[in-house]
Amino acid sequence: MKPHFRTAEQDDLLRPRLVDMIDPRHELVKLAALIDWEFFEREWAGFFPSATGRPATSPRLIAGLMYLQHAFKLS
């Protein structure tokens, strides 16, 4: 099944938003702003079946984790 993307939701008054907890000056935040994430979604769309199974993991998450694994020499 293709990834399920959330729509804009109402803010939760008891829980801070993630964007408010992350430092926009952090190097990974700046790098994420430079990456064309839609490229990965277009290129990898064929690898996600559309009819059965659990929803697929977001291509952005997979690409980001692969980058971190490579950049920090993790296996």
Is residue 17 included in any domain, yes or no?
Answer: no
Residue predicted with more confidence, 30 or 75: 30
Is residue 73 included in any domain, yes or no?
Answer: yes
Determine contact, residues 48/5, Cβ cutoff 8 Å: no
Cβ burial of 21 (10 Å; 0-12, 13-18, 19+) is exposed
Q: Assign 58 a pLDDT band (cuts: 50, 70, 90).
A: confident
State the DSSP code for 14.
T
Is residue 62 included in any domain, yes or no?
Answer: yes
Query: Could you give the number of structural domains in the chain?
Result: 1
pLDDT surpassing 80 at residue 51 = no
Q: Assign 31 a pLDDT band (cuts: 50, 70, 90).
A: very high
Alpha helices in 1-75 (DSSP H): 18-21, 27-34, 37-44, 59-71
Is residue 31 included in any domain, yes or no?
Answer: yes
pLDDT tens by residue, 14-30? 888 888 899 999 999 99
The predicted structure's pLDDT at residue 9:
64
At CA 30, angle to CA 17 and CA 23, rounded to 5?
A: 40
Query: What range defines the domain where residue 65 resides?
Result: 23-43+57-75
